């Protein structure tokens, strides 16, 4: 069962029975071989901005997480 609703006001909510699928789901593609995986081919600096105040990296099961902290200007305000 699933809940379904439309955009009418007041909004009616319906309980909908979900039919079983006859086929097993398969992904459209498989994992890439290590040689075919994306990699850096070139590195160029396109501009210069504020320096990084801190960088941290953490190895996780399927890759890495990277976090950066830049300088914060408390006097900067956006219009709006």
CA–CA separation, 40 and 62 (whole Å): 18
Instruction: Give the 3-state secondary structure of residue 72.
Output: coil
Q: What is the 3-state secondary structure (H, E, C) of 8-60?
A: CCCCCEEEECCCCCCCCCCCCCCCCCHHHCCCCCCCCCCCCCCCEEEEEEEEE
Q: Can you give the pLDDT at residue 50?
A: 66
Q: What global pTM score does this model have?
A: 0.29
Q: Report the pLDDT value the prediction gives residue 32, as an integer from 0 to 100.
A: 75
pLDDT mean over 52-79: 80
Is residue 57 within 8 Å of 65, Cβ to Cβ? yes
Q: CA 35 to CA 23: how far, in whole Å?
A: 33
Please write the tens of the pLDDT for every residue from 44-53. 877 777 676 7
Mean local confidence (pLDDT), 60-71: 84
């Amino acid at each position: 069962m699933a809940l379904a609703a439309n955009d009418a006001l007041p909004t009616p909510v319906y309980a909908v029975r979900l039919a079983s699928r006859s086929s097993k789901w398969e992904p459209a593609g498989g994992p890439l071989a290590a040689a075919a995986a994306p990699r850096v081919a070139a590195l160029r600096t396109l501009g210069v901005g504020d320096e990084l105040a801190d960088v941290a990296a953490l190895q996780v099961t399927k890759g890495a997480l990277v976090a950066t902290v830049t300088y914060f200007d408390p006097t900067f305000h956006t219009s709006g």
